[in-house]
């Protein structure tokens, strides 16, 4: 009886939208990869960089997923690679979000020439194709994973600035924001207390959806040799190295699958987060009851 009640209590607190199969798959897979990323070093059987095994062994032997052209264990490199790409992708998204939100909030709140100037800069960045711009920046900074992250930040903050700016513009005229100003809130306080907390939802969704893109970008740059440098175990560079031993499919396929699963997982996660936070989907849910369910009941579901 008791565990059942507990389970019901737990599930009651989880919004319905979370319980779709895609959301659950996304959550489980993404969490699994994050755990791997931070614990890989403790469970991998071989060093990801040491060339200690016979070369080009197929999967199933001593090396679970085979070895590459330099006699390194693909499984160990795969797991270690998670620890390289995922944390850096998270960092990339976090910094871009921060920069974008700050720029967008300033533009939206102060308006006039400040807005004009900042938005022209974002337009400038957004006018270039993302990947090509990132390549140019990474190449000019010199090939390294850290520089790839910087290139990623430079190309992805403008979208956050755009979204933040438009949200700030629409919230600025909300009654509660005006009420705060009439009570003597300074513009900065109004921004920090009344506006930003209320745009956090949509910005988080954007960020969640962007994690997959960031992983692709970092792996892509590494694949092109502009990111991680040998012998670092990075998925993109592993695929790139696999091209030298085309017959040994396992060297490239497993990192490819890793990228596929992690990107899809974060996208599923972002999508369901959007469904949960999207005000229109919420109204839809309420409107079932609404049209004339007690107004309070509509308000009570979070």
Partner 1 sequence: MTAAPVLSIRGLTVAFGTRKRPTPIVNGVDLDLVPGRIQGLAGESGSGKTVTAMSVLGLLPRTAQLGGSVRLGETELLGLRRRDLSRIRGRRIAMVFQDPSASLHPQLTIGHQLTDHVRTHLGLSRTEARQRAVDLLERVHVPDPADALGRYPHQFSGGQRQRIAIAIALACEPEVVLADEPTTALDVTVQAGILHLLRDLALERQLAVLLVTHDLGVMSAIADDVAVMRHGTIVERGPREQIFTRPEHPYTRELLTALPESDFTDERARTALAERDSADDPEVGP
Partner 2 sequence: MSDLLQVEDLVVEYGGRHPVRAVDGISLTVRAGEVLALVGESGCGKSSTARAVVGMEKPAGGAVRYHGEPVPPLGLRTRAAALTAMQMVFQDPNSSLNPRKRVAAQVADGVAAARARGAGGPQEAGHWLEQVGLDRALAARYPHQLSGGQRQRVAIARSIAARPDLIVADEPISALDASSQAGVAAMMRRLCLDAGAGMLFISHDLSVVRQIADRTAVMYRGRIVESGATEVVWNDPVHPYTRALLAAIPRADGKGNLPQAPAAEAPAEWASEVPEALERA
C-alpha–C-alpha distance, residues 25 and 23, integer Å: 6
Q: Tell me if 293 contacts partner 1 by CB under 8 A.
A: yes
Q: Tell me if 129 contacts partner 1 by CB under 8 A.
A: no
- Phi then psi for residue 241, to 5 deg, are -65, -30
Which of 71/111 has CB closer to partner 2?
Answer: 111
Largest interatomic CA distance in the chain: 75
**Which residues in this chain contact partner 2 in the complex, by CB under 8 A?**
110, 174-176, 178-187, 193-194, 197-198, 295-296, 299-300, 302
Which of 72/172 has CB closer to partner 2?
Answer: 172
Which of 56/181 has CB closer to partner 2?
Answer: 181
Which of 140/300 has CB closer to partner 2?
Answer: 300
Which of 18/110 has CB closer to partner 1?
Answer: 18
C-alpha–C-alpha distance, residues 48 and 41, integer Å: 9
Q: In the structure encoding, which two tokens stand for residue 217, read together? A: 């970008």
CB of 25 to partner 1, least distance (A): 23
User: CB under 5 to 8 A by kind: which of partner 1, partner 2, none does 293 bind?
Assistant: partner 1
H helices, E strands: number in the chain: 13, 0
CB of 231 to partner 2, least distance (A): 48
Burial (CB < 10 A; 0-12, 13-18, 19+), residue 1, is: exposed
CB of 281 to partner 1, least distance (A): 14
Q: Tell me if 182 contacts partner 1 by CB under 8 A.
A: no
Q: Tell me if 288 contacts partner 1 by CB under 8 A.
A: yes
Angle, vertex CA 225, rays to CA 80 and CA 75, nearest 5: 25
CB of 208 to partner 2, least distance (A): 19
Residue with tokens 């909300």: 174
C-alpha–C-alpha distance, residues 79 and 81, integer Å: 5
Q: Tell me if 294 contacts partner 1 by CB under 8 A.
A: yes
């Amino acid at each position: 009886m008791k565990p059942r009640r507990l389970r019901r209590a737990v599930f009651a607190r989880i919004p319905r939208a979370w319980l779709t199969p895609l959301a659950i798959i996304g959550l489980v897979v993404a969490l699994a990869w994050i755990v791997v990323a931070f614990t890989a070093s403790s469970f991998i059987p071989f060093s990801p960089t040491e060339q200690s095994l016979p070369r080009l062994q197929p999967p199933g032997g001593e090396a679970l997923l085979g070895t590459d052209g330099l006699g390194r264990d693909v499984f160990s490199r795969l797991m270690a690679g998670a620890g390289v790409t995922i944390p850096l992708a998270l960092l990339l998204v976090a910094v871009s979000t921060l920069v974008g939100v700050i720029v967008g909030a300033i533009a939206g709140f102060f308006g006039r020439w400040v807005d004009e100037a900042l938005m022209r800069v974002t337009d400038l960045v957004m006018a270039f194709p993302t990947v090509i711009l990132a390549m140019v920046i990474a190449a000019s900074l010199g090939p390294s994973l850290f520089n790839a992250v910087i290139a990623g930040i430079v190309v992805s903050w403008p979208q956050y600035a755009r979204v933040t700016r438009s949200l700030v513009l629409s919230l600025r005229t909300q009654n509660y924001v005006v009420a705060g100003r009439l009570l003597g809130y300074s513009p900065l306080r109004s921004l920090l207390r009344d506006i930003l907390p209320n745009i956090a939802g949509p910005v988080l969704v954007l960020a969640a959806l962007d994690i997959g893109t960031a992983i692709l970008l970092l792996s892509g740059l590494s694949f092109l040799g502009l990111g991680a440098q040998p012998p670092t175990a990075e998925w993109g560079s592993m695929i790139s190295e696999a091209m030298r031993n085309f017959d040994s499919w396992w060297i490239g396929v497993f990192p490819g699958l890793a990228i596929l699963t992690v990107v899809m997982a974060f996208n599923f996660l972002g999508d369901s987060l959007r469904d949960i936070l999207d005000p229109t989907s919420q109204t839809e849910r309420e409107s079932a009851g609404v049209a004339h369910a007690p107004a309070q009941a509509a308000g009570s579901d979070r």
